Amino acid sequence: MAEKERGTTDSDVIEAILDENEFIIDQKLISLGNKYIIKNEERDRIAYCESESFFKEGLTVYNDESKEKELFSIKQVSLTKFTGLFEVLDHEESVVGYLRRKGVKSLVRDEWSILDQEKNKIGTARSDYLLKDLARKRYVRKIPYRYEIIQQGKKIGVYKQRFNLLKRSYKLQIKKDTEQNIDRRLLLSLSICLDAVEEKYRKLKYRKVF
């Protein structure tokens, strides 16, 4: 990263992430395992993460592709046919919060809970249109995914898939969380889970496992 070469510290990188309200998350498709490039609103690369097996080893987010400095990580706590719980840790292995996939609800309409360090619910992410979600699962799988981020009954942001033939690409926009009540590392981890975890469930659904 150019900023790193000019003397930016890892704390500066983390602080920059915490202050951002818009991210681009690109998933490399022609690669082994899960690999993501994270960019800010100006389209500068600010983080990178990869794992050969997200579900066995978790996933670590680094400052860049050199993987020299860890920023935060996502660890699987539990994963079943219907639900999943993921722990988000900072670079010192302290808990930032948790992400929980709502099992039965997600069979009809994808939904996740955003939890704080004590597992208190502080937000929700859910697919925006029930009929679109049903149509996607039953008929047209290429309809772009879009999730609303809800906090205290109000929509504060959106996570949406962008068209790209060579990779899965997403935009995360936080519009109304001006006091930054939800840690951006939790929301970025949610974005990765909505790609990697939901992709796993979608494949199962299309094979009629559920």
Q: What is the mean pLDDT of residues 53-78?
A: 86
Round the CA-based radius of gyration of the chain to a whole number and report it. Answer: 16
The pLDDT-based confidence of 110 (bands split at 50, 70, 90) is confident
Q: CA–CA separation, 129 vs 30, rounded Å? A: 30
The pLDDT-based confidence of 125 (bands split at 50, 70, 90) is very high
Q: What domains appear along the chain, each with residue ranges and CATH number?
A: 2-206 (3.20.90)
Largest Cα–Cα distance in the chain? 52
**More confident position, 3 or 144:** 144
Full-model pTM: 0.82
Q: For residues 75 and 112, is the Cβ–Cβ distance under 8 A?
A: no
Question: Residue 140 contacts by C-beta under 8 Å, 6 or more apart in sequence?
Answer: none
**More confident position, 97 or 205:** 97
Closest to 198 measured CA to CA, from 109, 130, 135: 109
**More confident position, 110 or 104:** 110
- Point out which residues pair with 50 in neighbouring strands: 35, 60
Tokens of 138: 């039953």
Closest to 157 measured CA to CA, from 130, 177, 180: 177
